[in-house]
Copies of this chain bind each other. A is one copy, B any other.
């Protein structure tokens, strides 16, 4: 049922699919998790194998969520390497670049869901990101320079059938609920164990 066919006060209740989002199922999922919080517990996983030099290959793995083990639709693999200017062979993006793909994708997927939930039809969402990194940290040449990015600058361009202010609010709400933004902005405990032989 299209939202245009119902009274405004009922719009949220019966809002139909929009922007490629199955909005009724999205609301049903949120309702199910509200009723059964254990459905919210997810475990994501990945693996990686060194190839040579700075080249390695990560693999998407199955995950646990919604009360059961889940498999992905395909066996995605992700090569990473350093570029020649860092004595690698550029078999894939640098590891630090993968953080960028995660951040842009996370806020964008949230924009998809939130716009559908609010009945806003999107026509375009594009984003770009830039991060400055001073290699003196990584290379061990300075203890005053951090290893990671000094900062990340993100820009979103969003177009849709709502006023600019409403579109901005959708981006802001997505940021406020973004898992990747939270991890990058606030950090996360990382525990590393090693089996050596």
- Measured between alpha carbons, how far is A1 from B116 in the docked complex, in Å? 63
Which residues of B lie under 8 Å from residue A155 when comparing CB positions?
A: 192-195
A80 and B99 contact, CB distance less than 8 A: no
Residues of B contacting A82 in the complex (Cβ-Cβ under 8 angstroms): 109
Total contacting residues, chain A, CB less than 8 A:
134
The interface residues of chain B lying within 8 Å CB-to-CB of A7 are none
Task: Judge whether A101 and B58 touch: CB under 8 Å.
Answer: yes
Q: CB-defined interface of A93-111 with B at 8 Å, one 1/0 digit per residue?
A: 1111111111111111101
A10 within 8 A of B: no
Query: Does A101 contact B103, Cβ atoms closer than 8 Å?
Result: no
Decide: A194 and B156 in contact? CB cutoff 8 A: yes
Closest CB-CB distance, A43 to chain B, in whole Å? 5
| Docked CA distance A168–B189 (Å) | 20
Residues of A41-60 contacting chain B, CB below 8 A: 41-56, 58, 60
B135–A87 contact, CB under 8 A?
no
Could you tell me which residues of chain A, from 116 to 163, have a CB within 8 Å of some CB in chain B? Answer: 116, 122, 124-141, 145-159
Would you list 9 pairs from A and B whose C-beta atoms are within 8 A, ordered by A residue? A29-B139, A48-B101, A48-B108, A49-B127, A65-B85, A82-B109, A102-B102, A107-B192, A137-B177
